Amino acid sequence: MQSLNRQGRLSATRLDRGPNDEIAQENLDLYHHIFTMMLGGRLYLAPIHADPQRVLDLGTGTGIWAMDFADDHPSASVIATDLSPIQPSLVPPNLEFQIDDFCEQWTFSPLASFDFIHARCIYGCVADYPALYSEVLAHLKPGAWFEHAEISVIPRCHDGSLAGTSMERWGPLALEAGVKFGKSFGIAEDVESLMTAAGFVNIKKHVFPWPIGPWAKDPALKSIGGYNRLGWQQGLEGWALFLFTKYLGVCARDTLPVALSPVNCAPTVASRGGPGPPCADPTRVEQQLHPRLPGHVSRTPTMQRTSRSPD
């Protein structure tokens, strides 16, 4: 079901975090490109076997990740779910899109049948992560993997230049909106503890800094930063308007300037000769399910994983 929110942008339901119109879809595809750049062209980090048989993509959005995965893994039967029917009709023959709410009780059968479950950028979509992770655990095969990738909504920098800026205020405002909305935007910071509590083990977490703007000296980060800045500029209106007006009481005519000012200030920060404007730190989490092995966490610049042994 789609509804027109009061800012005139289409969204999947009235409980959704923001729009899913053409602008939002382009933004999703842009961030898919950034994620694959971050991973050197790869779609995931989980060490799944070469020929997975059954794969699930949660909150697939435009379906671009699922389509790429299905193309790369013709052996796999890929199911990708979303609330909105915005996916293309011409897709690989081994891919099926389903309109489904992964926050409700799952109906996939049989249990323990997926070799790989993938979720990315579902922040602001989930009210009960323990319930979601319980479903994931129940539907993974022994030895299967779950990967959860998120982007932190809290910009960070190394030189203190965010102090007193609108960029510094953006993170706390987004987190506050999520609390009032009932669906956390802080999952990137909380995912490790939530997965541990859910019973995942062999957890690996990797954090990848994303510059906001093309200020980095490293060519790869410079390219990522340019695309990330465009993503902020393109996406902030949709991210902010619904949540800020409905849950933070911000006047609609004031929200857009407040939302856009963090990105518009980035060139000024970079031109001062310091290390540049802040980074957005996406959290890459993989879990392989293994109920008998002790948990293990390693930190490199963000990812986590877990494995399940045969019963």
pLDDT single digits (tens) 35-48: 999 999 999 999 99
Residue 290 reports pLDDT greater than 80: no
Q: Of all residues in the chain, what percent carry a pLDDT higher than 70?
A: 75
Interval 99-132: pLDDT, tens: 999 999 999 999 999 999 999 999 999 999 999 9
What is the C-alpha separation between 18 and 242, in angstroms, rounded? 6
pLDDT of residue 244: 87
96 pLDDT more than 50: yes
- pLDDT band for 263, please (50, 70, 90 cuts): low
Q: Percentage of the chain with pLDDT > 90?
A: 62
For residues 96 and 14, give the distance between their C-alpha atoms in angstroms, rounded to a whole number. 26
Rg (CA), the chain: 19
In a domain, 84, yes or no: yes
Confidence tier at 301 by pLDDT (50, 70, 90): very low
CATH classification at residue 237:
3.40.50.150
Tell me if 269 is assigned to some domain. Answer: yes
Question: What does pLDDT average to over the chain?
Answer: 81
Residue 25 has pLDDT above 80, yes or no: yes
**What does pTM read for this prediction?**
0.83
Look at residue 122 in the predicted model and tell me its pLDDT: 96
Does residue 309 lie within any of the structural domains? no
Both tokens assigned to 234: 């393109």
Asked if the structure places residue 54 within a domain, the reply is yes
| Inside any domain, residue 275 | yes
Q: How many residues are listed for the chain in this entry?
A: 311
User: CA 47, CA 12: separation in Å to the nearest integer?
Assistant: 33
Residue 89: give the domain boundaries.
Answer: 3-300
Judge whether 311 lies within some domain: no
H, E, C per residue of 164-228: CCHHHHHHHHHHHHHHHHCCCCCHHHHHHHHHHHHCCEEEEEEECCEECCCCCCCHHHHHHHHHH
Note whether residue 277 is domain-resident.
Answer: yes
The token pair that represents 95 in the structure block: 């891919």
Query: Exposed e or buried b for every residue in 135-146, given b needs 16+ CB within 10 A?
Result: bbbebbbeebbb
Tally of structural domains, the chain: 1
Q: How many CB atoms lie within 10 A of CB 1?
A: 10
Q: Specify if 281 maps to a domain.
A: yes
